[in-house]
């Protein structure tokens, strides 16, 4: 990789670096200048941001992915399954509401002609549940494709989709710079699955660390390409506090109490996510120096989620981190043939808003709402004024 160019006009962007230096590294998602409005969101990622692409999937979906197209997914807000991996809205939906653009339409529905009422100038969602940052070749080489990696929708594939769609967004280079410059790019969360899959197959945390640069290089590559095309504002989330995630707690339990922190989270996985996020942030800082006129915003999903796990009752959650509303492969559901939330016969909770975990892996709308609010209003660190055209949450 090239050495960062030393920029002489780095002044106004350096808040970003100083935030990184703060102990808690709680970076807020913030908007650039007081007069700026975003006219669209273009989103890349995985199930954290997928607003329905799997509805239009042409591959054979694995049972766990297929289940998201069934109730009780979507029961809270949409009242039908939309393909979102939650009971209701996701971070990206709350973000769209805040900015004042329509909820994002899934690219695959546009591509296959099933979604007719789309306007690519209002933004498009390329994020697909199950997606990885690394291309499928990485997993093929390891013999992991089809074992745990169920689809071929990596970040690189999603970027190619964006290129395919680009002529319907803008034509000339200068036209693209203008249109894309007014858009907000959400690049992630992506990369979490790369490690989820590796850990599921018994990869040690030590070995997983050796893949961190590969994942971050891929994310960085896409950010650079988007900037070349004209992107001016990119929000790049890190990974969540996975050591507190129901799935990790159930799948990697330890008999040694020392392995848990005071909130009952697995220290080693949280440390890994924290390590990954610090590497990502370092790369974003490097990119920011290379592109001083662009706004690269790190979104700290780690601390935004961690605070929910640490003080659930403060956020209205009555259930513990070992509870999930509609859990995948939950011990409570041992006696039914169904294994996944969304398969008939599974017991679902009455009130998802009492839970942080929706289906064992993904979070409830209530949790995503708090996380977004926290990202937008940023109670932790930076007093930066964030103004948008949208309504306040």
Residues that bind ligand NAG (CB under 6 A): 136, 152, 157, 167-171
Q: Is the Cβ–Cβ distance between 78 and 220 less than 8 Å?
A: no
Nearest CB to ligand NAG, comparing residues 150 and 237: 150
Nearest CB to ligand NAG, comparing residues 98 and 105: 105
Among the options 300, 305, 362, 388, which is catalytic?
362
Q: Which of 251, 245, 266, 242 is nearest to 329 (CA)?
A: 251
| CA gap 363, 325 in Å, rounded | 9
Give the nearest distance from C-beta 1 to ligand NAG in angstroms.
Answer: 25
Q: Could you write out the DSSP letters of every residue in 331-343?
A: GGGTTSS--STTS
Give the nearest distance from C-beta 140 to ligand NAG in angstroms.
Answer: 6
Q: Tell me whether residue 362 is one of the annotated catalytic residues.
A: yes
Residue 295: strand, helix, or coil = strand
Nearest CB to ligand NAG, comparing residues 29 and 176: 176
Cα 75 to Cα 50, 71, 82, 197, 320: the distances in Å are: 16, 7, 9, 28, 22
Nearest CB to ligand NAG, comparing residues 112 and 168: 168
Nearest CB to ligand NAG, comparing residues 194 and 289: 194
Q: Tell me whether residue 359 is one of the annotated catalytic residues.
A: yes
Residue whose tokens read 């949280």:
270
Give the nearest distance from C-beta 224 to ligand NAG in angstroms.
Answer: 20
| CA gap 266, 248 in Å, rounded | 8
Nearest CB to ligand NAG, comparing residues 54 and 136: 136
Residue 275: strand, helix, or coil = helix
Q: Is the Cβ–Cβ distance between 299 and 16 less than 8 Å?
A: no
Give the nearest distance from C-beta 324 to ligand NAG in angstroms.
Answer: 32
| CA gap 106, 111 in Å, rounded | 9
Among the options 46, 194, 274, 359, which is catalytic?
359
Give the nearest distance from C-beta 90 to ligand NAG in angstroms.
Answer: 25
Q: Could you write out the DSSP letters of every residue in 95-143?
A: HHHHHT-PPPPBHHHHHTT---S--GGGEEE---TT--SS-HHHHHHTT
Q: Is the Cβ–Cβ distance between 90 and 52 less than 8 Å?
A: no
- C-alpha radius of gyration, the chain, whole number: 20
Give the nearest distance from C-beta 133 to ligand NAG in angstroms.
Answer: 14
Give the nearest distance from C-beta 167 to ligand NAG in angstroms.
Answer: 5
| CA gap 150, 131 in Å, rounded | 9
Residue 182, Cα to own-chain centre: how many angstroms?
A: 22
* Consecutive H or E run containing 234: strand 233-237
Nearest CB to ligand NAG, comparing residues 14 and 144: 144
Among the options 30, 43, 47, 220, which is catalytic?
47
Q: Which of 120, 117, 124, 131 is nearest to 57 (CA)?
A: 131
Report the side by side order of strands in the sheet with 183-187: 123-125, 40-44, 183-187, 233-237, 295-299
Q: Tell me whether residue 62 is one of the annotated catalytic residues.
A: no
Nearest CB to ligand NAG, comparing residues 180 and 356: 180
Give the nearest distance from C-beta 152 to ligand NAG in angstroms.
Answer: 4
The catalytic site residues sit at 47, 359, 362
């Amino acid at each position: 990789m090239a050495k960062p160019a030393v920029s002489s006009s780095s002044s106004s962007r350096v808040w970003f670096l100083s935030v990184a230096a703060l102990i808690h590294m709680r970076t807020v998602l913030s908007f650039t200048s007081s007069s700026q409005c975003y006219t669209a969101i273009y989103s890349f990622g995985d199930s954290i941001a997928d607003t329905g692409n799997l509805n239009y999937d042409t591959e054979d979906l694995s049972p766990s992915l297929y289940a998201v197209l069934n109730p009780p997914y979507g029961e809270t807000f949409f009242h039908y399954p939309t393909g979102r991996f939650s009971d209701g809205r996701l971070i990206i939906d709350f973000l769209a509401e805040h900015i004042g653009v329509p909820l994002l339409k899934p690219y695959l529905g546009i591509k296959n002609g099933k979604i007719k009422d789309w306007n690519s100038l209002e933004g498009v969602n390329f994020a697909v549940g199950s997606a990885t940052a690394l291309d499928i070749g990485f997993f093929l080489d390891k013999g992991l494709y089809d074992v745990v990696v169920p689809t071929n929708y990596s970040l690189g594939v999603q970027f190619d989709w964006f290129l395919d769609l680009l002529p319907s967004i803008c034509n000339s280079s200068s036209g693209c710079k203008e249109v894309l410059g007014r858009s907000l790019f959400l690049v992630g969360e992506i990369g979490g699955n790369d490690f989820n899959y590796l850990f599921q197959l018994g990869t040690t945390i030590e070995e997983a660390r050796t893949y961190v640069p590969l994942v971050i290089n891929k994310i960085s590559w896409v950010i650079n390409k988007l900037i070349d095309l004209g992107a001016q504002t990119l929000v790049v989330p890190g990974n969540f506090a996975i050591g507190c995630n129901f799935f990790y707690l159930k799948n990697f339990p330890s008999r040694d109490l020392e392995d848990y922190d005071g909130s009952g989270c697995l220290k080693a996985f949280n440390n890994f996510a924290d390590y990954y996020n610090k590497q990502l942030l370092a790369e974003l800082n490097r990119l920011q120096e290379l592109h001083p006129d662009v706004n690269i915003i790190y979104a700290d999903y780690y601390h935004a989620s961690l605070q929910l796990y640490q003080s659930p009752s403060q956020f209205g959650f009555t259930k513990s981190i070992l509870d999930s509303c509609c859990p995948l492969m939950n011990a409570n559901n041992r006696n039914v043939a169904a294994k996944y939330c969304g398969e008939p016969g599974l017991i679902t909770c009455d009130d998802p808003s009492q839970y942080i975990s929706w289906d064992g892996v993904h979070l409830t709308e209530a949790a995503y709402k708090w996380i977004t609010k926290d990202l937008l209003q940023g109670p932790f660190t930076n007093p930066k004024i964030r103004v948008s055209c949208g309504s306040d949450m």
